[in-house]
Chains A and B, each alone.
Chain A
Amino acid sequence: MYDVEHVRRDFPILERQVNGWRLNYLDNAATSQKPRAVIEALAKYYEQYNANVHRGLHTLAEEATIAYERSRGRLAAFISAESPNTIAFTRNTTEAINLIAYAWGRRTLKPGDEVILSVMEHHSNIVPWQMMAGETGAVLRFIDIDDEGQLDQAQYHEMLGPRTKLVSIMQVSNVLGTINPVKQMAKDAHDHGALMLVDAAQSVPNMPVNVQDLDCDFMAFSSHKMMGPTGIGALYGKLEHMEPMGPFMGGGEMIREVTLERTTWNDLPWRFEAGTPNIADAVALLPAVDYLNELGLENIRQHEVELTRHALKKIGGIEGVTIYGPPKAEDRGGVVAFTMGNVHPHDIGTALDQYGIAIRAGHHCAQPLHRRLGIGATARASFYAYTTMSEIDQLADALVKTQEFFARRTRPTAV
């Protein structure tokens, strides 16, 4: 296990003051903070070897290309992908899912084919499929959740059938914290001849993820949630599926030969990387991967379980608070979404900000989930490797003070 105080010193932003208080950053599911090594790598790229990749003959171009491809390789190893060619850089998780919807979905799905999603999915794993279903005539099915925020596996098995072509599920919910059994769900999908896409945005940064073990066909995740820079993410795809896929965006880099009449496509993965890529942020992602490996993903996971256990107890112990998702910390990722009596999440957010505490309030890009839960909005605290127990204590204290603030100024309403 690592020393959290020691780790915090690597993150310059954690020294910030907000409204006279030290920043208490509990919005990691929205984005993570970056260690100095990542920030310096970004500057160093622009200071020393910025050049366009893949085409150049000069030294800088060679150095940039090597750094860019080295980052791809490190990312592939990070998730135990079988080859760097299985990793296509994208802008983020959303773009990776859209890539599959366009390059695979639109060309493969026929009217009546089925794609299985769930009611807890992030909009990025719903909207591209709605758009694609509209164009192809494919049908979307949504697995429901139970009272503890677990997917209804019995319903899933009922849904699976000869028409199922794809199952696309988030590994960890960014609201409920539910950790879905995607390995088993992938197997079930394969038993019915369907492919499995895992939305790993909320899992790759926080726990060991091994695509060989999961045996998923596609996986999507983002750099900015895993201590890396914004603007870069990745799609993993088994070579056997990516090989026959036509391109996503067209342009330079993704071609082999271009004539006025026709064009042949480049090999994987560059076929899916049109135009000049986000070289700088791809390069700066590498030290983030190294940093996570140094801390150890199992250690980060363990740390988050302890934080979550503490949070469930302290926040759950406040009168009027309802926490959503599975009751046990071991069954959850490090996000805690809750409501607090009559104080609306927005008002909670504004109050907590007065204490320098950053949480998120709203529907967290999961409107269907909130509708399913019968609520308009939740407040959400989410943790990461550098979060401390005392930050959670501070959160709990501030919530109590917030509750008192509003209670003092309003008459009690009949419940």
Chain B
Amino acid sequence: MSLDALDALYKEVILDHYQNPRNMAPLSEPTVATDGFNPVCGDQVHLELAVENGAITGISLHGKGCAISQSSASMMTEAIMGMPIDDADGLAKAFRDYMTGHDATPARDLGDLEVLDGVRKFPVRVKCATLGWNTLQEALKEFRAGLKTGNVVIKDGEKPQALP
């Protein structure tokens, strides 16, 4: 069957996250909020983080887009909850390097995220898988730059889309 090769990419866990994205409830007091957008294709995510004592204590993520981008972002929220921000940054880098084929094996234990390793066989989809993670790194960069805001951060003049 021709679509067998897709089984390596669209594992059940991934499609489960796509259908039931985790951690969608907005935060009452986000420390930082960032929008990620893949202009090539229209995938988008809106990420909010609550950071206390240098660790991620709250996450909210919602978005629109393909199965890979949305599920990877959802899995990310589960993976980084409670992590110190440097740790979360390190995980993001390890994940991206592994997805882009930069590293043959992940630099650290990716845990449940390993299930996305099928993306490596579909290089055109790597940008989908890394969207949430790029957004996370942007958010952490803003946090470090001292941006603390209770409002949503506008990026590139684009207001985040209202979702249906």
What is the CB-to-nearest-CB distance from A370 to chain B, in angstroms, rounded to a whole number? 7
* Sampled A-B contacts (26; CB under 8 Å): A19-B2, A19-B5, A344-B65, A344-B66, A344-B67, A346-B69, A346-B128, A347-B66, A347-B68, A350-B125, A351-B3, A354-B2, A354-B5, A354-B6, A355-B2, A362-B42, A363-B41, A376-B43, A376-B44, A377-B66, A398-B2, A401-B2, A401-B3, A406-B15, A410-B16, A411-B19
Judge whether A351 and B6 touch: CB under 8 Å: yes
Q: Any chain B CB within 8 A of the CB of A263?
A: no
Q: Any chain B CB within 8 A of the CB of A413?
A: yes
Contact with A along B125-137 (1 / 0, CB 8 A): 1001000000000
Q: Any chain A CB within 8 A of the CB of B88?
A: no
What residues on B are CB-neighbors of A350 within 8 Å? 6, 9, 122, 124-125
In the bound complex, what is the Cα–Cα distance between A376 and B42 (angstroms)? Answer: 6
Partner of B15, one of A21, A363, A409: A409
A residues lining the B interface (CB < 8 Å): 19-21, 344-347, 350-351, 354-355, 361-363, 367, 370, 376-377, 398, 401-402, 405-406, 409-411, 413
In the bound complex, what is the Cα–Cα distance between A347 and B10 (angstroms)? Answer: 9
In the A-B complex, the 8 residue pairs with the closest CB atoms: A346-B66, A344-B66, A377-B42, A362-B41, A376-B42, A376-B64, A405-B3, A409-B15
Q: Any chain A CB within 8 A of the CB of B12?
A: yes
For the complex, count residues of B whose C-beta is within 8 A of A: 26
User: Considering only CB atoms, which chain B residue lies closest to A345 in the complex?
Assistant: B66
User: Considering only CB atoms, which chain B residue lies closest to A412 in the complex?
Assistant: B19
Contact with A along B12-34 (1 / 0, CB 8 A): 10011011000000000000000
What residues on A are CB-neighbors of B104 within 8 Å? none
What residues on A are CB-neighbors of B69 within 8 Å? 346
Judge whether B43 and A410 touch: CB under 8 Å: no
User: Considering only CB atoms, which chain B residue lies closest to A377 in the complex?
Assistant: B42
In the bound complex, what is the Cα–Cα distance between A367 and B39 (angstroms)? Answer: 9
What residues on B are CB-neighbors of A346 within 8 Å? 41, 43, 65-69, 125, 128
User: Considering only CB atoms, which chain B residue lies closest to A20 in the complex?
Assistant: B2
Q: Which of A370, A402, A405 has the largest count of B CB atoms less than 10 A from its CB?
A: A405
What is the CB-to-nearest-CB distance from A308 to chain B, in angstroms, rounded to a whole number? 24
What is the CB-to-nearest-CB distance from B12 to chain A, in angstroms, rounded to a whole number? 6
What residues on A are CB-neighbors of B145 within 8 Å? none
Judge whether A402 and B19 touch: CB under 8 Å: no
What is the CB-to-nearest-CB distance from A169 to chain B, in angstroms, rounded to a whole number? 24
What residues on B are CB-neighbors of A409 within 8 Å? 10, 12, 15
What is the CB-to-nearest-CB distance from B20 to chain A, in angstroms, rounded to a whole number? 9
Judge whether A21 and B65 touch: CB under 8 Å: no
In the bound complex, what is the Cα–Cα distance between A370 and B65 (angstroms)? Answer: 13
What residues on A are CB-neighbors of B122 within 8 Å? 350
Given the known interface contacts A351-B3, A363-B41, A377-B41, the answer about A410 and B66 at a Cβ–Cβ threshold of 8 Å is no
Q: Which of A20, A344, A351, A413 has the largest count of B CB atoms less than 10 A from its CB?
A: A344
In the bound complex, what is the Cα–Cα distance between A344 and B43 (angstroms)? Answer: 10
In the bound complex, what is the Cα–Cα distance between A361 and B125 (angstroms)? Answer: 12
In the bound complex, what is the Cα–Cα distance between A147 and B34 (angstroms)? Answer: 34
Judge whether B128 and A405 touch: CB under 8 Å: no
In the bound complex, what is the Cα–Cα distance between A345 and B12 (angstroms)? Answer: 19
Given the known interface contacts A347-B67, A350-B122, the answer about A410 and B15 at a Cβ–Cβ threshold of 8 Å is yes
User: Considering only CB atoms, which chain A residue lies closest to B5 in the complex?
Assistant: A354
In the bound complex, what is the Cα–Cα distance between A411 and B15 (angstroms)? Answer: 9
In the bound complex, what is the Cα–Cα distance between A370 and B39 (angstroms)? Answer: 13
What is the CB-to-nearest-CB distance from A363 to chain B, in angstroms, rounded to a whole number? 5
In the bound complex, what is the Cα–Cα distance between A354 and B118 (angstroms)? Answer: 14
User: Considering only CB atoms, which chain B residue lies closest to A409 in the complex?
Assistant: B15
Within 8 A of A (CB), among B82-130: 122, 124-125, 128
Judge whether B15 and A370 touch: CB under 8 Å: no
What residues on B are CB-neighbors of A362 within 8 Å? 40-42
What residues on A are CB-neighbors of B12 within 8 Å? 409
User: Considering only CB atoms, which chain A residue lies closest to B124 in the complex?
Assistant: A350
Given the known interface contacts A361-B41, A362-B40, the answer about A376 and B9 at a Cβ–Cβ threshold of 8 Å is no
Given the known interface contacts A346-B128, A376-B65, A401-B2, the answer about A406 and B40 at a Cβ–Cβ threshold of 8 Å is no
Judge whether B2 and A21 touch: CB under 8 Å: yes
Q: Which of A346, A411, A413 has the largest count of B CB atoms less than 10 A from its CB?
A: A346
What residues on A are CB-neighbors of B2 within 8 Å? 19-21, 354-355, 398, 401
What residues on B are CB-neighbors of A351 within 8 Å? 3, 6
